[in-house]
Amino acid sequence: MNQTLSRPTMISYYLVIFLLLATPLLLIWHHFGMTSTLEISPRQPHGFRLTDDSQRDNGNSVSTLERTDDALIMHCQLGAAANYPFCKMQFLVGDPVKGVDFSRFDTITFNMRYAGPHPQIFKIHLMNFEPEISVLGDWNSQRFNEAEITMPPQPVFTIPLNVLHTAEWWRTVSKVPLSQSYTRLDHVTAVELSTGVVPPGQRITMEVRSIKFRGKWISKTNLLMGLVSAWIGCGLLGLSLGLLHLRFSLSASNSRLESLTAIDRERKAAEAAREAALAEALRLAHQRSNFMAQMSHELRTPLNAIMGYAQLLRRNSEQLSEQQAASLATIHDSSQHLLTLINDILDLARVEAGKMMLYPTATSLGGFLQAVADIIRVKAEEKGLAFSYQLAPGLPAAITIDQTRLRQVLLNLLGNAVKFTDHGQVSLRVLPARSTGAGADAVHDGQAGVGLRFEVADSGIGMSAQQLERIFQPFEQMGNMQRREGGAGLGLAISRQLVRIMGGDIAVASALGQGSTFWFELAAPVATSAPAVVRTPHAMLGYEGERKRLLIVDDQPASRAMLVDLLQATGFVVAAAENGLECLVLLHSFKPDLIVMDVMMPLLDGNETTRRIRKTPPWERTPIIAVTASASPEDESTCYQAGANAFLAKPIEHEALLHTMGTLLSLNWIAAQAPPPPAAPADADDASLVIPPAQEIETLWQLAQHGDMREIMKWADRLQALDAVYAPFAERLRGLARGYHSLALTAFVVRYRDAQAQALSP
């Protein structure tokens, strides 16, 4: 099956690539095409003084100045009294302390004439103020950066700025160490033109028309940073396109493999071609598997630290401000969304490669479905929606099914229903199957079976016939652009594939503006019993009894620190090791009651470390929880074979980790009280609420748009004080604001705002 990117998508990719390629070119153009200039001339002298050796070294040289509109002319008669007779022109630039940063300049262009004995040599000095060695007003104590220049025949010439160096005589006089004798131009306070080494008695004339310092508008450092940033963007985009291309390439390879399999095996040439194609497809599949495993590990590892600390902060959310709590929720939700995308891409790759395996276990049907319903009920109530759940009577108490994959399908369908519904309700019904293929008389490996029908219905926006044709395709998203709250458009495609692997198929009925109903039917063996559904406490703050000693083994500092912070805050005595070798050493000195073992580590990985511990008395029975960013069923099986007692995939859910530890160590947890449930969604009871005037509702709408819960509660207090008849309305509003249920609050306000608008319309 040929698959190509849509034209709008291709145009978007080309546009992004163009921008990412154009950005370095623009930076380079700015670097080479735009310059920064500082000019010294008679019109811009920047402060000027004329000095000679008679003023400083008891010399008898005489210097005079002639000034015209175009030039500054120094006439110098060198005397013989000083050891080094000189005359010089000094131009002051910038503040006497801060000066001007000349490090951004590259060249000096002179427009001057020189008359005097040959060779015609003069010196340029750049005086740099440095607090650690400078005495303000004493020019010799400032760093002398100098260069000796031979006057060329033409009056206009350019030299590079890097020919300047720290004057050796100045370093000696100022007693500056040789290690600090480098050129420094970040606080230049003066530019000097001085006569060179010329015998006494000579007459020299220096006519200066201009001195220009030029440099790049963008420094080389900023240019390199811009280029690196732009190409990192290109690399990330290339990685995304590569993933898509890899997927399409592998799909084409699989199709080719299927066609070659049907070729007549008796023809040797066709057999050779088929074998070659098979080998190539296997090579690509192996590359794909390795790539996906590596990418999963590399992405999950930093996510483990991000989501871990987000969960840790949420345990102490009462210490956060409203804005901090909202920001923390954004971090957690965005990380969870990214994790969902990663899992969706990996699941799609497994499905298309035919490597998706089911792991059915005995499952309590009622407990399993109630847990799913509890998750969705919270999301529905946040949007002000009613949620109903119905389990038909007469169904078996326990079935054998892959509850992980069934939960994934149900949460995807129910999550979409909540996302695309603004008013009304969402429902989940589990009924006996209607089709004969999934009936109650089905038999699985000699066991009696039951047929189940799962229905998810909503009163949302619905779908058109054109949308219904595309919703199960990968990378297709339902709704308009305003409704696409994230995701890669893989959820429904993966859900349908999972249901098909379990022996059913997803169907849908929908009409635009009238809601949607998704359903599928499955046949499952009836189980004689199932483990009870364990409900984890709201938040485990500590535990009763003797303090337990935990050893954290992880080569990633961020992941290691996050687990140490969590477990110490929960009351454990914690030690940490960077690899398996350190873990084996700490066994005897720390004596842990439980070990949390990362799998992928240098020197000695987690599985090999676990095997050695199982052979090392008296630690062979120490509980070990294996954690890894490579979360495939194969990895889990390998960990259990190595001797782990439990397995958790990164990013680690804190409550799941604590629950697992509590089970292995038989802990009695001290749990925090669960917060009161959010206000029930508006239903028939809202008919008794007295609606405030339209002007007040509009003010409330503005506050809801800004999400300012404190101001909303103040507004509710003012409303109730205005008239006691509004007390029920104000109390409903305060309940939503206290719980920070922003979506439910907005839906509550919109409902009455729309009702008033309809009442006022003709």
What single string gives the DSSP state of each residue in 163-191?
A: G-EE-HHHHHHHT--GGG-S---SSEEEE
The one-character DSSP state at 536 is P
pLDDT in the model for residue 592: 95
Q: What is the mean pLDDT of residues 420-449?
A: 74
Q: DSSP secondary-structure letter at 749?
A: H
Residue 713 lies in a domain: yes
pLDDT number for residue 488: 45
The pTM for the full model equals: 0.45
Looking at the fold, whether 614 and 690 belong to one and the same domain comes out as no
Q: Where are the alpha helices (DSSP H) in 161-267?
A: 168-174, 220-261
- 510-515 average pLDDT score: 87
Listed in sequence order, the residues at least 6 apart from 417 whose beta carbon sits closer than 8 Å to its beta carbon are 426, 456, 457, 458, 460, 516, 518
Strand order from edge to edge, sheet including 121-128: 48-52, 87-92, 188-195, 121-128, 143-150, 165-166
Report phi then psi at 432, rounded to 5.
-65, 145
The domain of 440 spans: 360-525
Do 248 and 197 fall into the same domain?
A: no
pLDDT value of position 1: 43
Residues 588 and 473 in one domain: no
Choosing from 161, 192, 216, the residue where a domain stops is: 216
Amino acid at site 145: N
**Are both 464 and 597 inside the same structural domain?**
no
Residue 575 has pLDDT above 90, yes or no: yes
E strand or H helix at 378, and its extent? helix 365-382
**Which one of 525, 558, 593 terminates a domain?**
525
Say how many CA atoms lie within 13 Å of 48 toward its Cβ: 17
DSSP 291-309: HHHHHHHHHHHHHHHHHHH
CB 369 within 8 A of CB 389: yes
* d(C-alpha 667, C-alpha 563), whole Å: 18
What CATH number is given to the structural domain containing 599? 3.40.50.2300
Residue of 263, 273, 289, 122 lying closest to 195 (CA atoms)? 122
How far apart (Å, rounded) are the C-alpha atoms in residues 607 and 612?
9
Lowest mean pLDDT among 31-45, 225-239, 584-598: 225-239
Residues 612 and 713 in one domain: no
* pLDDT for 298 beyond 70: no
**Residues in Cβ contact with 744 at an 8 Å cutoff, skipping those fewer than 6 apart:** 381, 382, 383, 384, 678, 679, 681, 736
Query: In angstroms, rounded to a whole number, what is the distance separating the alpha carbons of residues 619 and 166?
Result: 67
pLDDT at 531: 60
Number of domains in the chain: 5
At residue 137, does pLDDT exceed 50? no
Reported as a pLDDT band with limits 50, 70 and 90, residue 684 is very low
Q: Are 206 and 114 in contact (CB under 8 A)?
A: yes
Structure letter (DSSP) for residue 95: B
Cα dist from 701 to 131, 711, 745, 747, whole Å = 59, 12, 10, 10
- Number of Cβ within a 10 Å radius of residue 424: 13
| pLDDT for 60 beyond 80 | yes
Q: What is the mean pLDDT of residues 247-262?
A: 71
Give the up-direction half-sphere exposure of residue 63: CA atoms within 13 A in the CB hemisphere. Answer: 23
* 407: enclosing H helix or E strand: helix 403-419
Same domain, 136 and 184: yes
| Ramachandran assignment for 390, one of left (phi > 0), alpha (psi -120 to 50 degrees), beta (any other) | beta
Contact criterion met (CB below 8 Å) for 573 and 547:
yes
Looking at the predicted structure, is the pLDDT value of residue 181 above 90?
no
Identify the pLDDT of residue 341: 66
- Asked if residue 47 belongs to a domain, the reply is yes
| Higher pLDDT among residues 440 and 175, named by residue | 175
pLDDT band at 678 (very low <50, low <70, confident <90, very high): very low
DSSP result, 71-128: -EEEEEE--SSSSS--EEEEEE-SBTTTBB--TTEEEEEEEEEEESSSS-EEEEEEEE
pLDDT of 174 strictly over 70: yes
- Rounded to 5°, the CA angle 252-258-264 comes to 135
Q: Looking at the structure, do residues 106 and 248 belong to the same domain, yes or no? A: no
CA distance 143 to 133: 8
CB 350 within 8 A of CB 247: no
Q: Do residues 20 and 47 share a domain?
A: no
CA–CA dist 286, 308 (Å, integer): 32
Residues 594, 578: Cα–Cα separation, whole Å:
16
Residue 59 sits in a domain of what CATH number? 2.60.120.430
As a whole number of angstroms, the distance between CA 52 and CA 59 comes to 8
* pLDDT at site 609: 95
* Percent over 90 (pLDDT), the chain: 19
Regarding whether 204 and 99 lie in a shared domain, the answer is yes
Query: What's the pLDDT score for residue 46?
Result: 72
CB neighbour burial string for 609-641, b if at least 16 within 10 angstroms, e if fewer: bbebbeeeeebeebbbbbbbbbbbeebbebbee
The mean pLDDT of 738-744, rounded to a whole number, is 67
* Residue 626, token pair as written in the block: 């294996």
Confidence of residue 349 (pLDDT cuts 50, 70, 90): low
Whether residues 502 and 568 fall in one domain: no
Across the chain, mean pLDDT equals 79
Residue 678 lies in a domain: no
Q: Which helix (H) or strand (E) segment is 635 a member of?
A: helix 633-642
CATH of the domain at 427: 3.30.565.10
Average pLDDT over residues 43-64: 81
Q: 670 or 443, which is more confident? A: 670
Whether 73 contacts 123, CB under 8 Å: no
DSSP 476: -
pLDDT at 481 over 60: no
Classify residue 52 as exposed, middle or buried by CB count within 10 Å of its CB (0-12, 13-18, 19+): buried
DSSP state of 432: E
**The one-letter amino acid at 453:** R
Tell whether the model's pLDDT for residue 366 goes beyond 80: yes
Give per-residue pLDDT as tens, 539-565.
677 888 889 999 999 998 888 888 898
Percentage of the chain modeled with pLDDT above 70: 72
The answer to whether position 241 is within a domain reads yes
Compute the average pLDDT of residues 700-710.
Answer: 75
Q: Rounded to an integer, what distance in angstroms lies between the CA atom of residue 751 and that of residue 730?
A: 15
Q: Which residue has the tokens 């395996």?
A: 357
Phi, psi of 98 (to 5 degrees): -75, -35
> CA 229, CA 247: separation in Å to the nearest integer?
27
The strand pair at 549-553 and 594-598 is best described as parallel
The domain boundary residue, chosen from 525, 554, 575? 525
Give the pLDDT band (50/70/90) at residue 577.
very high
Q: Dihedral through CA 258, CA 261, CA 264, CA 265, nearest 10? A: 170
CA distances in angstroms from 395 to 267, 362, 380, 691, listed in the order given: 56, 15, 27, 45
Whether residue 335 lies inside any domain: the answer is no
Distance CA 558, CA 674 (A): 30
167 lies in a domain?
yes
Q: 61-75, 449-463, 520-534: which range is least confident on average?
A: 520-534
More confident residue, 743 or 267: 267
pLDDT at 312 over 80: no
Q: Are 88 and 208 contained in the same domain?
A: yes
Contacts of 381 (CB under 8 A, 6+ apart): 387, 677, 678, 679, 680, 681, 741, 744
- Give burial (CB, 10 Å; 0-12/13-18/19+) of 684: exposed
CB 126 within 8 A of CB 188: yes
Question: Alpha-carbon distance 65 to 205, whole Å?
Answer: 10
Whether residues 612 and 564 fall in one domain: yes
Question: Is residue 339 in some structural domain?
Answer: no
Could you give the CA distance from residue 241 to residue 249 in angstroms, rounded to a whole number?
Answer: 12
Measure the CA–CA gap between 610 and 596, rounded to whole angstroms.
Answer: 10
pLDDT value, residue 591 = 93
Residue that the structure tokens 């889990």 belong to? 636
| Range among 56-60, 311-315, 445-449 rated most confident | 56-60
Which residues lie across from 156 on neighbouring strands? 111
pLDDT at 595 over 90: yes
Residue 100 has pLDDT above 90, yes or no: no
In a domain, 330, yes or no: no
Q: Pinpoint the alpha helices (H) of 509-615.
A: 557-569, 580-590, 606-613
